[in-house]
Amino acid sequence: MPALQYEQEAPITEEVVDRDELGRLAYWHWEMRGSPDGSQVEDWFWAEEELRRQRLAAGYEIEEEA
């Protein structure tokens, strides 16, 4: 199974700093959903939102994009 290149598939918001962590989370989500074709962007955005939720739960303040 080829490795997917999530870090190049979608823009990243400023508050998400660790692109490696984001890529791993997106890849994990893709695998958990059965590895469907053509879903890299969807998985990437899911991972961004999941990291945002985790940071908010940990007490980080995140500025919303304008």
The crossing angle, in degrees rounded to 10, of helices 19-32 and 40-57 is 120
| Integer Cα distance of 48 and 46 in angstroms | 5
Supply the pLDDT for residue 63: 61
For residue 31, which of 7, 10, 58, 1 has the smallest C-alpha distance?
Answer: 1
What's the Cα-to-Cα distance from 9 to each of 6, 41, 50, 55, 56, rounded to whole Å? 5, 6, 17, 23, 25
Supply the pLDDT for residue 43: 93
Supply the pLDDT for residue 26: 94
As averages over each run of 10 residues, the pLDDT of the chain (66 residues) reads 48 60 93 91 92 83 60
